[in-house]
Amino acid sequence: VTFTVTSSGLGSIGDTVWFDTDGDGLKDAGENGLGGATVTLDPGTPSNSADDVTTTTDANGNYLFDNLPAGVYTVTVDLSTVTSGIPSGKTIADLIPTFDADGVGTANTSTVSLSLEETNLDQDFGYSVSSGGVNTGNDGGIESESLGDALTKLYVGRKKNSVPTEFVKSEANLYNKSKMKSVQPYQGKGQTMLDMFPTELVAGNVANITSPTDILDITTADEVLAVDFSLDGETKGVVLGIKTTDKVYNHTKASCDRLRGAEILNIQTVQVKGYNFLMQGIKQRNGVVEYAISFATAKNNNDTNYTIQTNWYVNNYTKFNDVYNFQVWSTKPADTQKLVADVLNNLQSFIPVKQTEIQKVPETYASKIYRDKAELVVMLRSTEEGNTAEVSMVELYSETANNIKHRTNSLSTEIQQSLRLDIADGYEYDGLVKVDNEVEDAFYHADGNWGLDFDKRYTEIKNYFVWNNFDREYKDDEYAINRDVEVKATSDYDYLTVYKSLLPGTISADYSEYNYVAFTAKGSGLMELGLIKSSIQDWKAQYRVMVDFSEEEQTYYVPFEIFTSSASQNKMTAEDLTTLTFTFLPVEAQTNELDLKISDVRFAKTAVEGQIVNKIDKFENEFMAYPNPSQGNVNLLLFSETDTEATVTLSDITGKIIYSQKATLNAGKNELDFNFKVKTGVMLLQVTSNATNYGTSKIIFR
């Protein structure tokens, strides 16, 4: 007997509507389905609702449409009927889309082409809640070329000048586009960056100019403008624009944020005003999730239109005479798209905007890069499983090394996976991710870097070298501060600081579980150690301690509790440290030669008895004056047992008083700055109060 089996030719569409707790666009174990959501299937007839089919998600957020002929269908989700799955304290109104199969540019809808007998169970819809606020535009804009060193220089420069590293918004930096346009200098017939910027995010927002103008000194940027749009004191959206000439700025928000410890949760295609963009969800180190779009708009001198480029790999962008590089981010995908649409409208009001590139979504990309002791961990996300990907990196061993190493690793792609590489205490990594020999992603990672801060007019560096210790042992109860440093210098008039950023991007972190900063060192004389806290703005108020370095190599354990501040009697807390500093103070004319080696630096929970540094108290009832010799600027470091008022007197060797001034001293450490305008020669500097004669120091003025 012969049986003939006839196919029905029918297929199905479905899957899950869920609460995406971590916002990564993937349905993870433990994430709730959203029950009771209304899901509508339109069979390719958007103008006719009569043939629509409707269902409701079950308690697990699942839905299914079956017995479907081949064709193009649109799935739409209505959250207003959701009855379960929303976290306590949140409402339906709080939900924002984080994922759907054809991108969140068309929020709550997904269009799918169903083949004959196809079962398509990939039509997921993820929702989360927005963060309270996003990071300011003042933190952005550094190019992806030696990013680590540039960020630290920027941070140390701001800290030394007591410039807030957390931007302070005030009436002085309010953004009023129309007012600013009325007073901006005439720049020819072209559009200015200001002309391109949005006016507002929403009615009633407060907007502030937060431009990171200090990047103009350390990058190829010609012009920079950033505006934060805020509601109820929280930044809800940011537009950052950077103008370059004859080149594309080698920066995207994703590249800079990944260096600072952020994770790219997903990359989705969106259309704004008919143009293709890539929007990524970025989870910052502090848990804030931002939705960002990066793009460049450009024109040559004689062009009659702008050309917009939006793909992921910016090194493939075409160069133009004038390039405007935009980074836009906000707490909600819809707000990011609104700000991008405003930029496009402003561009189109001047000349047409064309997009000729073919959109390319990265098949595999580095979602997060971080160090785990001696390993570099590259977390990868892919759109497909089973492809062959190649991760190649150029490794620079240290900040002063000129030798590089090439690394290449091949792997079979998974939706999420990690590549772990033994890098010991290496410094800097430029990476490419390729699939089928096509570049999909470029990433940059660097350890927190060693650096020098000094005045070239007064200080000569004879030798500076950062070297590796590939045999270092990494212990679970210590936090290793990578690589060792040596420096020889002559400083006639000024200080010299060797600093180490604790994390890439000089981001702050909590080190409260540790009790000591430990290291092995060889030097001569007093050094000032500093632990820089992000919460302290005044440079002189940072916590420091004096350590007497021996000419013989020794190991030192410096307790956190002996670090003191000139502005506070409170003990130092370590919840927001960013940088470790070693400062050489040429306090006497014959001590201006520095020969220093520091190795095996770490934070430790316990110390070796006999190697613990005690607080130096000999400066009570006397003071230190530096630099000495001086060209007029003199810094005083002194300790006072009580709050008091003192008199600072400068006199010549005959006793004639040249200068006298009252100074308020706090109990504990005090720092005073003076800029004396005196003739060359030897002067006597004296500090006295009613209760204490702190002493007299001989200062040589040159």
pTM: 0.83
Domain boundary among 406, 429, 446: 446
The CATH number of whichever domain residue 455 belongs to comes to 2.60.120.430
Same domain, 250 and 332: yes
**Averaged pLDDT, 236-265:** 92
Closest listed residue to residue 106, CA positions, set 268, 341, 290: 268
Closest listed residue to residue 250, CA positions, set 344, 361, 195, 327: 327
Asked if 98 contacts 23 with a C-beta cutoff of 8 angstroms, the reply is yes
Contacts of 319 (CB under 8 A, 6+ apart): 246, 247, 248
Residue 154 has pLDDT above 90, yes or no: no
Which pLDDT band holds residue 639 (cuts at 50, 70, 90)? confident
Residue 380 has pLDDT above 70, yes or no: yes
Burial class (CB in 10 A: 0-12, 13-18, 19+), 456: exposed
**pLDDT higher at 248 or 71:** 71
Q: Are strands 416-422 and 459-467 parallel, antiparallel or unpaired?
A: unpaired
Most confident option among 102-106, 205-209, 282-286? 205-209
- Range name among 26-40, 185-199, 294-308, 366-380 with the lowest pLDDT average: 185-199
**Averaged pLDDT, 510-521:** 98
**Averaged pLDDT, 339-345:** 99
Closest listed residue to residue 398, CA positions, set 270, 485, 515: 485
The CATH number of whichever domain residue 693 belongs to comes to 2.60.40.2550
Angle at 103 between CA 98 and CA 106, to 5 degrees: 95
Same domain, 633 and 536: no
Summarize pLDDT for 605-629 with one digit per residue, the tens.
999 999 999 876 555 556 778 888 8
**How far, in Å, CA of 262 to CA of 269, rounded?**
20
- Percent helix, strand and coil across the chain, each to the nearest 5: 10, 45, 40
Same domain, 276 and 319: yes
Summarize pLDDT for 552-576 with one digit per residue, the tens.
999 999 999 999 998 888 999 999 9
> Residue 295 is which amino acid?
F
Same domain, 516 and 434: no
The CATH number of whichever domain residue 376 belongs to comes to 2.60.40.10
Residue 167 has pLDDT above 80, yes or no: no
**Would residue 402 count as lying in a domain?**
yes
Same domain, 16 and 160: no
Closest listed residue to residue 439, CA positions, set 356, 339, 315: 315
Report the share of the chain in percent with pLDDT over 90.
69
The reported pLDDT for the residue numbered 45 is 93
Q: What element of type H or E holds 378? A: strand 375-382
Domain boundary among 329, 354, 379: 354
Coil, strand or helix: which one is 543? strand
Range(s) of the domain holding residue 515: 450-604
Asked if 19 contacts 124 with a C-beta cutoff of 8 angstroms, the reply is no
Phi first, then psi: what are they for 183, rounded to 5°?
Answer: -115, 0
Same domain, 232 and 91: no
Same domain, 345 and 386: no
For the record, the structure tokens of 203 come out as 């009615």
The reported pLDDT for the residue numbered 598 is 98
**How far, in Å, CA of 377 to CA of 369, rounded?**
6
Q: What is the DSSP letter of 619?
A: T
Length of the chain: 702
**Averaged pLDDT, 161-179:** 83
- What are residue 278's DSSP bridge partners? 269
The reported pLDDT for the residue numbered 563 is 95
Contacts of 160 (CB under 8 A, 6+ apart): 453, 539
Asked if 365 contacts 264 with a C-beta cutoff of 8 angstroms, the reply is yes
**Would residue 433 count as lying in a domain?**
yes
Q: What element of type H or E holds 157? A: helix 147-160
- Range name among 61-65, 143-147, 252-256, 384-388 with the lowest pLDDT average: 143-147
Sheet holding 416-422, edge to edge: 364-372, 375-382, 416-422
Which pLDDT band holds residue 249 (cuts at 50, 70, 90)? confident
> Residue 521 is which amino acid?
A
Asked if 270 contacts 263 with a C-beta cutoff of 8 angstroms, the reply is no
**Would residue 1 count as lying in a domain?**
no
**Would residue 613 count as lying in a domain?**
no
- Averaged pLDDT of the chain: 90
**How far, in Å, CA of 257 to CA of 251, rounded?**
10
Asked if 547 contacts 578 with a C-beta cutoff of 8 angstroms, the reply is no
Same domain, 256 and 389: no
Residue 37 has pLDDT above 50, yes or no: yes
**pLDDT higher at 672 or 492:** 672
**Would residue 4 count as lying in a domain?**
no
Q: What element of type H or E holds 306? A: strand 306-309
For the record, the structure tokens of 586 come out as 């040429």
Summarize pLDDT for 584-611 with one digit per residue, the tens.
875 543 467 889 999 999 999 999 999 9
**How far, in Å, CA of 653 to CA of 607, rounded?**
48
Phi first, then psi: what are they for 581, rounded to 5°?
Answer: -125, 145
Same domain, 328 and 179: yes
The Cα-based distances of 155 to 158, 497, 504, 511 in angstroms read 5, 14, 11, 19
**How far, in Å, CA of 625 to CA of 397, rounded?**
39
- The total number of structural domains in the chain stands at 5
**How far, in Å, CA of 388 to CA of 609, rounded?**
54
The end-to-end CA distance of the chain, in Å, is: 115
Coil, strand or helix: which one is 341? helix
**Averaged pLDDT, 475-490:** 96
Asked if 627 contacts 639 with a C-beta cutoff of 8 angstroms, the reply is no
For the record, the structure tokens of 3 come out as 């049986």
The reported pLDDT for the residue numbered 387 is 96
The Cα-based distances of 239 to 227, 245, 320 in angstroms read 5, 20, 22
Instruction: Give the largest CA-CA distance in the chain.
Output: 129
Domain boundary among 390, 411, 446: 446
**Would residue 696 count as lying in a domain?**
yes
Residue 653 has pLDDT above 50, yes or no: yes
The Cα-based distances of 407 to 19, 146, 390 in angstroms read 39, 18, 10
The reported pLDDT for the residue numbered 67 is 96
Report the share of the chain in percent with pLDDT over 70.
92
**Would residue 618 count as lying in a domain?**
no
The reported pLDDT for the residue numbered 5 is 45
- CB-side neighbour CA atoms (13 Å) of 352: 7
Same domain, 548 and 680: no
Burial class (CB in 10 A: 0-12, 13-18, 19+), 49: exposed
**pLDDT higher at 639 or 602:** 602
Same domain, 533 and 441: no
Same domain, 659 and 555: no
For the CA atoms of 64, 68, 71, 75, the dihedral, rounded to the nearest 10 degrees, stands at -20
**Would residue 611 count as lying in a domain?**
no
Closest listed residue to residue 298, CA positions, set 314, 312, 313: 314
The reported pLDDT for the residue numbered 6 is 46
